Amino acid sequence: MDIKVQPMGDYQTNCYVVTIDNKDLIIDPGVDALRWIKTQVTNPIAILNTHGHFDHVWSNAEVKKTYDIKIYTPKDDNFMLEKDPYGLGMPPSCADVLVEHDEEIEIQGIKIKFHYFPGHTPGCSAIQIGKHLFTGDFIFKGTIGRFDFPYSNASSMKESIKKILTWNDDFHIYPGHGDKTTLKSEIHTLKQWESCI
């Protein structure tokens, strides 16, 4: 597995290209992501969204049109792709596949699981591919995602933290902003947040 990352736009939102067996998965194509994606892919097969915030999905439609591939989005966040709820002029897009809570899917032989961790957004999910977890704005290095935005929910965030703290396996974490980390490295931080929300 080869993982490439490029921060996009004013919020430096990480866009990932994950290549397995010469098949490219594009995760969270943010603002002006297509230019970079074109230099990184040879056989793109899908667009995966961790959640529906504009800085993670801005280029969904453009990338989909360029490569004629499907968009996979957590079902509870699809309204953000379609409606531009923050009024920022985001190009609208629509998921081809609405992913259910904690659903495991398979795309051309690649197994992908969307772990449901609401709080930052109603459908916020971490995308697992092997031992790699693309956490969007749920977990960052040294902190967690904000839960004071419109459509955020503090109690849901607390439950999501409780849920991941039950996991026994370690994972490489690739967040929506900032540097990569591991689940084991973030346990202390997660426990601190759980106790104060």
Q: Where are the domains of the chain?
A: 2-196
DSSP element (H, E) containing 183: helix 183-196
Closest to 44 (Cα-Cα) out of 15, 76, 81: 15
Torsion of CA 179, 185, 188, 193, to 10 degrees: 30
Q: What is the pLDDT of residues 79-115, one digit of tens each?
A: 999 988 888 889 999 999 999 999 999 999 999 999 9
- Global confidence as pTM: 0.97
Chain mean pLDDT for the chain: 97
Local confidence band at 195 (pLDDT 50, 70, 90 cut-offs): very high
Assigned CATH for 2-196: 3.60.15.10
pLDDT at 87: 85
